[in-house]
């Protein structure tokens, strides 16, 4: 939710609270004029909520020339990729940063036990990276 939207809803909440205070105050005084004011305030709040919701709904449905052109360009690229493709790309980026770090750490390790564990982990990550890259290439070629 945008800051402007939050401000609008905060103002509506404040008006609701004021209206409730007015009702409570009126119960103690039994004043007809205050009762009418409270009723009118409630009606205005309902109108305000309706028009704000309508405005946001209208703006969300709007189509500009820029929006249409952007949609066409995205369509030429094949649209939004499937979630699996996005996740595969993310994993590839992560592995491409982890592997060099692990190789560097492996070079500095003196312990044979740690070295064996790191080498096994490094090999698993390289295999995983290779599998992801080949799967992504196959998917891209099929499109």
CB proximity list for 22: less than 8 A, separation 6 or greater: 34, 37, 38, 41
Q: What is the pLDDT of residue 129?
A: 94
Tens of pLDDT, residues 71-114: 888 788 777 778 888 899 999 999 999 999 999 998 888 889 99
State the pLDDT confidence band at 1, using cuts at 50, 70 and 90.
low
Look at residue 50 and tell me whether its pLDDT is greater than 90.
Answer: no
State the pLDDT confidence band at 39, using cuts at 50, 70 and 90.
confident
Length of the chain: 143
State the pLDDT confidence band at 12, using cuts at 50, 70 and 90.
confident
Q: What is the pLDDT of residue 81?
A: 77
Q: What is the pLDDT of residue 31?
A: 66
State the pLDDT confidence band at 51, using cuts at 50, 70 and 90.
confident
Between residues 2 and 137, which one has the greater pLDDT?
Answer: 137
Q: What is the pLDDT of residue 43?
A: 82
**How much is the average pLDDT of 55-76?**
76
Q: What is the pLDDT of residue 29?
A: 66
pTM: 0.47
**How much is the average pLDDT of 11-35?**
74
Query: What is the 3-class SS of the chain, one letter each residue?
Result: CCHHHHHHHHHHHHHHHHHHHHHHHHHHHCCHHHHHHHHHHHHHHHHHHHHHHHHHHHHHHCCCHHHHHHHHHHHHCCCCCCHHHHHHHHHHHHHHHHHHHHHHHHHHCCCHHHHHHHHHHHHHHHHHHHHHHHHHHHHHHHC
């Amino acid at each position: 939710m945008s800051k402007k939207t939050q401000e609008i809803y905060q103002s509506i909440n404040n008006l609701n609270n004021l209206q409730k205070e007015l009702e409570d105050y009126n119960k103690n005084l039994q004043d007809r004029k205050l009762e009418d004011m409270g009723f009118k305030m409630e009606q205005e709040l309902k109108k305000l909520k309706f028009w704000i919701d309508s405005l946001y709904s209208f703006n969300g449905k709007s189509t500009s020339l820029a929006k249409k052109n952007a949609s066409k360009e995205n369509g030429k690229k094949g649209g939004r990729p499937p979630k699996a493709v996005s996740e595969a790309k993310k994993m590839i980026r992560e592995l491409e940063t982890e592997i060099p770090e692990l190789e560097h750490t492996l070079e500095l390790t003196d312990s044979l036990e740690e070295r064996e564990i790191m080498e096994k982990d490094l090999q698993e990550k390289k295999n995983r990276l290779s599998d992801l890259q080949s799967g992504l290439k196959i998917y891209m070629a099929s499109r």
